[in-house]
Amino acid sequence: MARTDWGSITVPSSLLRRIDKLAKNEGVPRHIIIAKALSVYQGQMKNIGGTSYLKGKRHSKGMWYGWKLLLSYAELRISVKYRKCIPKTVREKMLKYFEGTLWQIMTRLKAISKEDARKILQTAKEWSETQNNTTLYRLNDMVRELFYRVLGAR
């Protein structure tokens, strides 16, 4: 187990109150909120073109895989939501695509561990079978956290 070195920064009290409020709402320490903010900031600072037509432009890996993660998750959600009119084979295929995206993020970006990927996939399978809102909320939180990690990847 690695030892974490700690430091301190001075911030305006109004910013500290905002950080504390977010930390309390999410149930995490302050430094997690700051790490998330820095990940989003770094993602925005990348030169990705800023135009509507980005073919041929360089993107950061984090932006690319973040986009892939959200698309595969959205496809899975839609296939489950409209399960009455979408064949089971399509839902299974969307789950496989989502699993493939998790595998790529795990192997190529190293933004997630094998165990974390397995937990996310298991939760996705559980939700797709039960459509339980509590499970969906937990899955949304897991995917959102992974998205922030992916944005910070290079």
Domain ranges of the chain: 13-45, 61-151
| Residue 2 pLDDT grade (very low, low, confident, very high; cuts 50, 70, 90) | confident
| Residue 1 pLDDT grade (very low, low, confident, very high; cuts 50, 70, 90) | low
pLDDT tens per residue across span 94-150: 999 999 999 999 999 888 999 999 999 999 999 999 999 999 999 999 999 999 999
Buried b (16+ CB within 10 A) or exposed e, 97-125: bbbebbeebbeebebbeeebbeebbebbe
What mean pLDDT is predicted for residues 54-59? 56
Cβ atoms 149, 37 nearer than 8 A: no
Report the mean per-residue pLDDT for the chain: 87
Name every residue whose Cβ is closer than 8 Å to that of residue 54 and which is 6 or more positions away in sequence: 48
| Residue 53 pLDDT grade (very low, low, confident, very high; cuts 50, 70, 90) | very low
- Give the pLDDT confidence score for residue 126 in this predicted structure: 96
- Give the pLDDT confidence score for residue 62 in this predicted structure: 86
Q: Is 59 helix (H, G, I), strand (E, B) or coil?
A: coil
In Å, what is the CA distance from 88 to each residue of 75, 83, 91, 148? 14, 7, 5, 31
Cβ atoms 20, 30 nearer than 8 A: yes
In Å, what is the CA distance from 21 to each residue of 17, 26, 86? 6, 9, 42
> What is d(CA 31, CA 38) in angstroms, rounded to the nearest whole number?
10
Return phi, psi of residue 83, to 5°: -65, -25
What do you get for the CA distance between the two ends of the chain, in Å? 25
Name every residue whose Cβ is closer than 8 Å to that of residue 132 and which is 6 or more positions away in sequence: 126
Residues in the chain, overall count: 154
Predicted TM-score (pTM) above 0.85: no
Q: Does 88 or 42 have the greater pLDDT score?
A: 88
Q: Over 50: is that where the pLDDT of 43 sits?
A: yes
- Tell me the residue type at 14: S
